Amino acid sequence: MTNQHTITARIKLWTGFFIRISYPRDLPLVIQAFRKRRKYQVPDETWSIVESVGGFLSMKEAGLLHWAASGWPVQGPVLELGSYEGRSTIIFARAGRTVHAVDAWSLQVDDLSAYGGSATSAESVFDQFKHNIRRAQVETCIQLHRGLSHEVGQHWKIPCAILFVDAGHTYADVRRDLEIWTPHLLPQGLLLMHDVLGDVYMDVTRAAGELLRQDWHVVASAGSIVAFTRNKPSR
């Protein structure tokens, strides 16, 4: 894609986003997220592996995930909701974190946007995921939990330092995932949400914006990803 095409695509994306957000409801999120835009680098070797993996994670977003996994000071595993073929999973694992990958890898879900309406079977995507993490040599760093995120979460006991939310994209799905999984985030842990900033998944934008009224604040953003942490309790 030429520079002109890239600029045109970005203008179209952000024009669509600002047209579709709800005013004034989403403005606090938008203001915080754009004030905290960051450009983090993903190691070339890691990106060369991830680039060939199917998925929807851009290089800018991969840089933010790598920064989170390698630089966030809270120790502990990553809890990833929505793994698809393993792009984000590999980023987290190659940055040195244990990853709990939660995904239904199933067509029996309400939101099939990850499959893009293609004839690809969920089972073949799961097989490709396993192949990709083996090829990236991070298989021993990853624990698989196959099932619907809200069902897996009902019996979850393991605390995490980083929670990455990228499963169902309906408002109800995102709200439910946040309600179930954020209690497992360690104090000052990092919450990452994909597809918050963009012109497609406005339900994700809405759910993310509500966090600002629930004692969270934005610490970074890149691409469509926004990173949050809880406000420190006042003394």
Residue 216 lies in a domain: yes
* Per-residue pLDDT reduced to its tens digit, 183-228: 999 999 999 999 999 999 999 999 999 999 999 999 999 999 999 9
Residue 6 lies in a domain: no
Residues 102, 146: Cα–Cα separation, whole Å: 6
Q: What are phi and psi of 80, to 5 degrees?
A: -110, 120
Query: How far is residue 219 from each of residues 62, 89, 182, 188, 227, measured CA to CA in Å?
Result: 16, 21, 16, 11, 6
Residue 146 lies in a domain: yes
Residue 88 lies in a domain: yes
Q: The domain containing residue 206 runs over which residues?
A: 23-230
What is the tally of structural domains in the chain? 1
pTM of structure: 0.92
Residues 174, 141: Cα–Cα separation, whole Å: 26
H or E segment at 123? helix 122-135
Residue 131 lies in a domain: yes
Residue 11 lies in a domain: no
* Per-residue pLDDT reduced to its tens digit, 36-48: 999 999 999 999 9
Three-state DSSP class for 83? Answer: coil
CATH number at residue 197: 3.40.50.150
Residues in Cβ contact with 210 at an 8 Å cutoff, skipping those fewer than 6 apart: 175
Residue 16 lies in a domain: no
